[in-house]
């Protein structure tokens, strides 16, 4: 049986996925391999999988280096084989190639072909809201006579934070940020096709804060819902918005993050009392208008961290009669420090690879403003200098899921077209999320 040369492709994954990243080659040029032998470790947007050999053969040439993102329609390896079934091999992701090879076109019995086209998904305008009241650390020290402002700053990186007025509600802050985001996107509320609100401090248990926001905006008749991924919520919300767009439900999705933690802090708990500020941040994610291109996303959660950040009572206020349960935010600081440091740094490294960038390409890393020491420790492990991590935690504190859009709003005027930006966050759950963006 005579041998011949051919090319092989990565197996296609979910319909919405267009490419995958070669994490590690397990063979080299000239190596012999057997059918079903693992040739490479590969990662797509939704899974990590082994790339197995479709036949026996010999590696001729590896067409892409490790760390490269490869479109599914492109071959990844040239091989020599005597397996006759490989003479007509085609890209599993390219119908036109299959037709050229004589494979009949399969007609789909349902669905709009345009809906299956993968769109570029972009972030449009950013809007934020910070309460007027500035709370400096010395205002909070009456409960802790042995603690100084210098100590708090050294441990947290925070000098002051913003706290909401007594008559403000989370939906009020969300509305202020959302109006600005919609205006700066060149849209009106009537152009919004769905609303996603990230919050751990909703106005009420039900209805959702998203529906309350919908009423304030006058954007009736569109889907609106809350999600709770804690500090990771804004990035989770952007991924949900992307899914709504790709499924054809909406073209422009408002994603708003709002948290009002000032009302749910125990004044006797030094691990939480100095950390949190209030605020809201919003953006519009669009599949129909050009903007700042979303490149890659990473979402994860690990329930082993359930104890690390928690609150057992819902809402943004604590009832007067709460002696039978603990209604406050509680943190396991030491555990969080270790997990957050490793998660932040690995998210940055993984996003660089998934986006086919080099570390030197990244203009800014905009992390969740969790804690100044955590961010500094994460920067050391990420491969990107600390000077390119943007921090505003000293002035606004930890505003939970609103912290990334609030920080982004402070640097957006200095960003230029083509600048590469990475977002990363860790939250209660333990949740983690990352996103890469080309400005």
**In this structure, is the dihedral angle defined by the CA atoms of residues 303, 306, 310 and 311, taken in order, positive or negative?**
positive
The CA distance from 76 to 138, in Å, is 60
Measured torsion, CA atoms of residues 166, 409, 406, 357, in degrees rounded to the nearest 10 = 170
The CA distance from 202 to 208, in Å, is 7
Distance set, CA 179 to CA 357, 399, 410, 416 (Å): 34, 19, 18, 24
Annotated catalytic residue: which of 228, 231, 252, 292?
231
Rg of the chain over all Cα atoms, to the nearest angstrom: 25
Query: In 185-317, which residue ranges form alpha helices assigned H by DSSP?
Result: 209-217, 233-246
Q: Tell me which residue of 355, 342, 344 sits closest to 294, measured CA to CA.
A: 355
Quick check: bond before 402 cis, omega within 30? no
Residue 112 appears among annotated catalytic residues: no
Neighbours of 312 (CB within 10 A): 10
CB of 55 closer than 8 Å to CB of 81? yes
Backbone angles phi, psi at 97, to 5 degrees: -65, -40
The CA distance from 157 to 354, in Å, is 31
Residue 307 appears among annotated catalytic residues: no
Give the chain's end-to-end CA distance (angstroms, integer).
Answer: 54
Annotated catalytic residue: which of 228, 252, 371, 398?
398
Annotated catalytic residue: which of 292, 368, 371, 424?
368
Task: Tell me the two tokens of residue 341.
Answer: 């440091």
Say which residues have a Cβ less than 8 Å from residue 194's Cβ, sequence separation at least 6: 222, 223, 224, 241, 244, 249, 250, 253, 254
The CA distance from 352 to 350, in Å, is 5
Helix, strand, coil shares of the chain, percent, nearest 5, are 30, 30, 40
Query: In 107-199, which residue ranges form alpha helices assigned H by DSSP?
Result: 149-156, 170-184
Give the catalytic positions in this structure: 231, 368, 398
């Amino acid at each position: 049986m005579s041998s011949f040369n051919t090319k092989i492709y990565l197996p296609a994954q979910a319909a919405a996925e267009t490419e995958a990243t070669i994490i590690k080659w397990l063979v080299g040029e000239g190596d012999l391999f057997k059918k079903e032998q693992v040739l490479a470790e590969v990662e797509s947007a939704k899974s990590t999988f082994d790339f197995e050999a479709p036949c026996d053969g010999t590696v001729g040439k590896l067409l892409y280096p490790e760390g490269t993102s490869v479109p599914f329609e492109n071959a990844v390896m040239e091989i020599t084989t005597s397996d006759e079934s490989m003479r007509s091999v085609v890209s599993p992701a390219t119908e036109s190639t299959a037709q050229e090879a004589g494979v009949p076109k399969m007609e789909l019995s349902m669905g709009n072909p345009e809906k299956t086209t993968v769109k570029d998904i972009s972030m449009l305008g950013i809007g934020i809201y910070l309460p007027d009241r500035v709370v400096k650390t010395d205002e909070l020290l009456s409960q802790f006579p042995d603690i100084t402002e210098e100590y708090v700053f050294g441990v947290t990186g925070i000098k002051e934070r913003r706290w909401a007025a007594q008559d403000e509600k989370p939906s009020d802050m969300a509305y202020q940020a959302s109006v600005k985001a919609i205006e700066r996107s060149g849209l009106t509320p009537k152009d919004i096709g769905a609303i996603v609100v990230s919050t751990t401090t909703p106005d009420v248990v039900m209805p959702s804060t998203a529906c309350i926001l919908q009423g304030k905006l006058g954007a009736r008749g569109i889907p609106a819902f809350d999600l709770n991924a804690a500090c990771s919520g804004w990035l989770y919300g952007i991924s949900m918005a992307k899914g709504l767009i790709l499924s054809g439900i909406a073209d422009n999705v408002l994603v708003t993050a709002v948290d009002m933690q000032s009302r749910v802090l125990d004044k006797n708990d030094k691990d939480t009392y100095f950390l949190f500020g209030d605020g809201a941040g919003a953006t519009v994610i669009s599949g129909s208008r050009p903007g700042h291109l979303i490149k890659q996303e990473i979402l994860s959660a690990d329930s082993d961290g359930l104890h690390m950040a928690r609150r057992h009572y819902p809402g943004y206020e604590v009832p007067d009669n709460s002696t039978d349960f603990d209604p406050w935010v509680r943190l396991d600081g030491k555990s969080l420090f270790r997990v957050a440091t490793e998660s932040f740094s690995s998210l940055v490294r993984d996003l660089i690879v998934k986006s086919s960038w080099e570390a030197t390409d990244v203009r800014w890393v905009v992390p969740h403003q969790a804690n100044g020491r955590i961010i500094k420790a994460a920067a050391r492990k990420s491969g990107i200098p600390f000077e390119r991590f943007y921090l505003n935690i000293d002035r606004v504190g930890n505003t939970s899921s609103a912290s990334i859009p609030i920080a982004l709003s402070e640097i957006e005027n200095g960003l230029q077209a083509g600048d590469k930006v990475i977002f990363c966050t860790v939250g209660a759950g333990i949740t983690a999320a990352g996103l890469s963006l080309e400005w």
